[in-house]
Structure 1
């Protein structure tokens, strides 16, 4: 007969399998091209987006690229962060059909986000960020180095053209983005529009997908993840609905 300890172990294992095993992504979820069909649910920033796969929400962290921050609690809004975020919203808008190429063994980062490449109409979005000078090649960790050589070539072209982040000398480095260098160059975050220029206006709660206007009852409530909009129309187009109060 099974001991009580063994019975408890079997019970816990069975529950864990039912809760996790049935929802884990596997190769069987891929289409004939080896991709995971998905639909964009909401944008978070330039290199992070939430999609729906098999009807389940999955947050994707783009592999091998890093865009400047827009919502970091310590770094705040970095130069070209709003531009990268706006570019992502333009291409990866809610409802858009995309394909996901997961990293090796469906790896995840420390936040539980799926590491992957995203394709829109056959074009890899990771590459587009690099082409526009809105991201740097970063977080190069084996075994997920499949496209790293191609990425560095694209980055070199953006550097030569001094596009985006490469228009500010010594701003983008192997250690990250150096905001002090941008300040010395005279760059001001939000000068070209984007989320930074809309701070203090329409406040979107990224967890509930509800937006709040300044005169609303909950406008000044503690919201962990905020997305700013200049107008209510922009908030609605991004998939948010207005707070009832």
Structure 2
């Protein structure tokens, strides 16, 4: 047997002993990973609003870091519609799931490689909710970009200094503490703070034509 034949024989033996088993092992591991990943997928069968979905086991799941407007407020329906377009009747993977203060599940969710929590903040149809996950910095930056670019609820549609719908109704109904939905205050044009008050309609703040109208809605006159 010539040296060339010996070399070819050695290469064939090497392929049989090492390369082919290695390929088969990689195929097996890939299949196992795919099967495991598929087993962890859960189908979304309903959308409650812009930050909460219903899973196939009928439980509700809220998106971590996401606070979408209530449906009756500015941007609420837009947020719900966007979330529906992203996940409804699709299978999602769930990561970093924890219960909230009421026991409801919260998590980061994906459709394939699409990070849904980030897409909601990227659109501007949801506010950033402070939380601690592996994606905190990314999501905070995404939300800040949406706010800077005046997207979604940060556009003039929901965030207003003047009333674009009725210039004659200029009384500003404002929440004193937006995090806890504290006292409802209304500001007249004569109030010292009037020019600094923004109407954030996604939080339920609103314009009024008369003081009587503001009082009937549960607002009290601001001191300044």
Smaller-chain TM-score bracket: 0.5 to 0.7
What's the CA shift for 1:169? Answer: 4.5
Aligned pair in 2 of structure 1 residues 124, 174: CA closer, same or farther (>3 Å)?
A: farther
What's the CA shift for 1:78? Answer: 0.9
CA contact (8 A) 1:47 1:66 kept: yes
Q: What is the aligned partner in structure 2 of residue 62 from structure 1?
A: 63
What's the CA shift for 1:120? Answer: 1.2
Q: Distance in 1 between matches of 2:160 and 2:37?
A: 41
What's the CA shift for 1:35? Answer: 9.0
What's the CA shift for 1:36? Answer: 3.4
User: Within 5 Å, which residues of 2 pair with 1:1-245?
Assistant: 36-52=40-56, 56-70=57-71, 77-94=72-89, 96-103=90-97, 107-138=98-129, 140-141=130-131, 144-167=132-155, 168-169=159-160, 175=179, 177-180=202-205, 183=207
Q: Distance in 2 between matches of 1:45 and 1:178?
A: 14
What's the CA shift for 1:102? Answer: 3.1
CA contact (8 A) 1:135 1:165 kept: yes
CA contact (8 A) 2:178 2:203 kept: no
What's the CA shift for 1:38? Answer: 0.6
Q: What is the aligned partner in structure 1 of residue 10 from structure 2?
A: none
Aligned pair in 2 of structure 1 residues 35, 152: CA closer, same or farther (>3 Å)?
A: farther
Aligned pair in 2 of structure 1 residues 42, 132: CA closer, same or farther (>3 Å)?
A: same
Over the aligned positions, Cα root-mean-square deviation in angstroms equals 3.0
Normalization by structure 2: what TM-score? 0.54
What's the CA shift for 1:147? Answer: 1.4
The 3-state SS of whatever aligns with 2:99 is: coil
CA contact (8 A) 1:35 1:101 kept: no
Q: Deviations over 1:121-155 (max 9, x none)?
A: 211111001000011111x24xx332111111111
**Unpaired runs of at least 5, structure 2:** 1-34, 162-173, 182-201, 209-224
Aligned length: 138
Aligned pair in 2 of structure 1 residues 111, 34: CA closer, same or farther (>3 Å)?
A: farther
Runs of 4+ in 1 over 6 A off after TM superposition: 170-174
**Unpaired runs of at least 5, structure 1:** 1-30, 71-76, 185-245
Give the structure with the larger helix fraction: 2
Q: Distance in 2 between matches of 1:65 and 1:36?
A: 23
What's the CA shift for 1:59? Answer: 1.3
